[in-house]
Structure 1
Amino acid sequence: MASTDIAPLVFSNLPTELVRDIFEHAAVSDKATARALTLVSSAVRHWTEPILYHTVVLSTSRGLRSFLASISNKPAGFVSTRVEHLGIFALGPVQSIDRVLNACRGVRSLACGFHMPGYKQMLGCDALQAMKGSREQHLLGLSCRDGWDTGLVAPSVTHLRIHLTSFDTGAPNAPFGFAFGTGNPTESDWERLATLSSLTHLAIVYRSSATPPAAVLPALQRLLSLKDNAPPAINPPQLKLILVQVLGGATGDKQPEAPVDVINSAAVEEGGSALRIVAENAPSSVVRQWESAVRGGPGIWDGAEDVVRKRLASIKQSL
């Protein structure tokens, strides 16, 4: 008997709901399997095709072209409602990146690895500003190499991670390396960050060798006080957590204390709002960490949130 004759018999006595669960579980477990299942029948394609579009990672120009081709015949609104997590790490073409961003306006989590100042110069910020439902945005690697711009962050974003090439503690009003010539040049970094009124979680990835570990603390504390010190007409973010992911932060034989320990100890000693500043060693790949998290792995923010809860609980117990 041919395998095509066996397959219907396997599921013939099972409820439709259970058959659907089996196919969906197989599709979630393996992307190649998900693609194959879309060819089984129209019913199975209806069940499994959305899983293919739930998380989209585009790492090459070829991947960009293939994705745009795959959605070219989809019904209006299919991509904007199906793609929940989008990672664009291809370097270009910029026009293709813009087409993807415009098509995927319903994403909840967006990770960018392309050169964002160059993208803005060519095509502006409209596509990113139109992502009204976006909750997480990660500006990683090349996206921040020449600075970054709050205009490239969706206004609805609550969780933002930026990958800094420098952290200038010698410039107290401008430590975060915004792209040259962006926004209002008379505004400080703090005033620009104040425009992200929905922000509750901020993560900063930076290399410890560029800046003494404890020197970042005053700048981060100022971020935490934006809400308290803002003029009445401005509604800046109320940050609940600042996560510092330190590259090259592992301790060695000649280092008595790791940079993350220095920052965490200084935050606890300072107390007050500084208790919401948590440092950890950066993962070996921030891109892989993002992708693992959106596919159901450990959350990027979970460990730091737990640290803050424990610190605050300890303070309450001591009162």
Structure 2
Amino acid sequence: MSSAAETRLVFSNLPAELLRDIFEHAATSDPATARTLTLVSSAARHWVDPILYETVVLSSARSLRSFLTAISQRPADFVRNTVKHLGIFALGPVQSIDRVINACRGVQSLACGFHLPGYKQVQGTGALQALKGSREQHLLGLSCRDGWDTALVAPSVTHLRIHLTSYNTGDPTSPFGFALGTDSPRESGLKRLASLSTLTHLAIVYRYSSATPPTAILPALQQLLSLSETHDGASPPRLEIILIQVLGSTTGASPVNTVVQNLNSAAEEAGGLALRIVAECAPASVVRQWESAVKGGPGVWEHAENVLRRRLAAAEQ
């Protein structure tokens, strides 16, 4: 007797609702099991496929090709409505990356690890601007190596994390590595950030340099928090929190730990809007942190939000 026939005999007397619960639980617990379960029957594939496609992580050109091949055999609305968390960490080809983004227009959380300026130069910003339901975007790894552009952020994003390679204290209007935009090349970085009207949460991942005092970034951060009060635009963002994730070793008497402590102390001492600036040590891998969060693990913002609640409560006393 074949294994498929044996499977049918084992489950033949179980209610369909219970069977579905069993299959969905197994698929959620282990992706490898989920892929195997799709081979059991058409009903099992119907139950399990949405779980398989809910979170998609593409780390190589090969995985890009495989995913594009897989979705080419499915209705466009299945991919658009099913993929909710998309991580693209393959470096290219950018044409394939663009096809994936266009296909997954229903994503709620998007993590980019590919070179964004290069992508924009070849493909433009149309696919990213079409992500009308995207609430969270993470620009990680090499994506911001040569700067970043607000035109590459979906217009509906409320939670944005950018991974910067440097902080420019010499340019107070653009300290966070903005790339020059093609539409308004003379517009300052802060003014262009003001165009992200839905933004409420901003996280900045940066590597501390001993050449720059850690508190030197506070004035620029405070400007970001006051955009809704000082900017002349129609609808600038009203940021609720800015999270600073400081890169570096955290073992022993690490300077990173000291930087985090100094930033938090300076924010608390300044009071007012600065209370919304929270620093923490960056995780060992910002990519793994994103993956863990979208799969039900601790969220990127949870710790910082708890710190902010404690600060605001203390300020009211």
Task: Normalising by structure 2, report the TM-score.
Answer: 0.96
Does the 8 A contact of 1:250 with 1:259 survive in 2?
Answer: no
Does the 8 A contact of 1:149 with 1:183 survive in 2?
Answer: no
Give 1:250 shift: 2.9
Worse overlay, 5-14 or 157-166: 5-14
| 3-state SS in 1 of match to 2:76 | coil
Go from structure 1 to structure 2 and tell me whether the alpha carbon gap of 1:121 and 1:256 turns closer, same or farther (over 3 Å shift). closer
Does the 8 A contact of 1:58 with 1:87 survive in 2?
Answer: yes
User: 1:286 — aligned with what?
Assistant: 286
Go from structure 1 to structure 2 and tell me whether the alpha carbon gap of 1:2 and 1:266 turns closer, same or farther (over 3 Å shift). same
- Which residues in structure 2 correspond to 1:245-264 (within 5 Å)? 245-248=245-248, 250=250, 252-253=252-253, 258-264=258-264
Whole-Å Cα distance in 1 between the matches of residues 256 and 36 of structure 2? 54
User: 1:13 — aligned with what?
Assistant: 13
- Which residues in structure 2 correspond to 1:113-152 (within 5 Å)? 113-152=113-152
RMSD (CA atoms):
1.6
1:14 aligned partner, one-letter code: L
User: 1:105 — aligned with what?
Assistant: 105
CA deviations over 1:234-292 (Å, ceiling 9, x no partner): 21100001000000163754859611000000000000011110000000000000001
Whole-Å Cα distance in 2 between the matches of residues 159 and 255 of structure 1? 28
Does the 8 A contact of 1:208 with 1:249 survive in 2?
Answer: no
Worse overlay, 4-13 or 147-156: 4-13
| 3-state SS in 1 of match to 2:147 | coil
User: 2:226 — aligned with what?
Assistant: 225
| 3-state SS in 2 of match to 1:119 | helix
Indicate yes or no: 2:194 matched with 1:197. Answer: no
Task: Normalising by structure 1, report the TM-score.
Answer: 0.95
Does the 8 A contact of 1:91 with 1:115 survive in 2?
Answer: yes
User: 2:177 — aligned with what?
Assistant: 177
Unaligned runs of 5+ in 2: none
How many residue pairs were aligned? 316
Worse overlay, 15-24 or 259-268: 15-24
1:212 aligned partner, one-letter code: P
Go from structure 1 to structure 2 and tell me whether the alpha carbon gap of 1:67 and 1:3 turns closer, same or farther (over 3 Å shift). closer
User: 1:153 — aligned with what?
Assistant: 153
1:137 aligned partner, one-letter code: Q
Go from structure 1 to structure 2 and tell me whether the alpha carbon gap of 1:238 and 1:256 turns closer, same or farther (over 3 Å shift). closer
Unaligned runs of 5+ in 1: none
User: 2:75 — aligned with what?
Assistant: 75
> Identity of aligned pairs, percent?
71
Does the 8 A contact of 1:59 with 1:88 survive in 2?
Answer: yes
User: 1:164 — aligned with what?
Assistant: 164
2:231 aligned partner, one-letter code: A
Go from structure 1 to structure 2 and tell me whether the alpha carbon gap of 1:257 and 1:73 turns closer, same or farther (over 3 Å shift). closer
Does the 8 A contact of 2:38 with 2:48 survive in 1?
Answer: yes
Give 1:182 shift: 4.0
Whole-Å Cα distance in 2 between the matches of residues 182 and 282 of structure 1? 32
Give 1:76 shift: 2.6
Give 1:177 shift: 1.0
Go from structure 1 to structure 2 and tell me whether the alpha carbon gap of 1:42 and 1:249 turns closer, same or farther (over 3 Å shift). same
Moved >6 Å (runs of 4+): none
Go from structure 1 to structure 2 and tell me whether the alpha carbon gap of 1:122 and 1:5 turns closer, same or farther (over 3 Å shift). closer
2:55 aligned partner, one-letter code: T
Indicate yes or no: 2:230 matched with 1:235. Answer: no
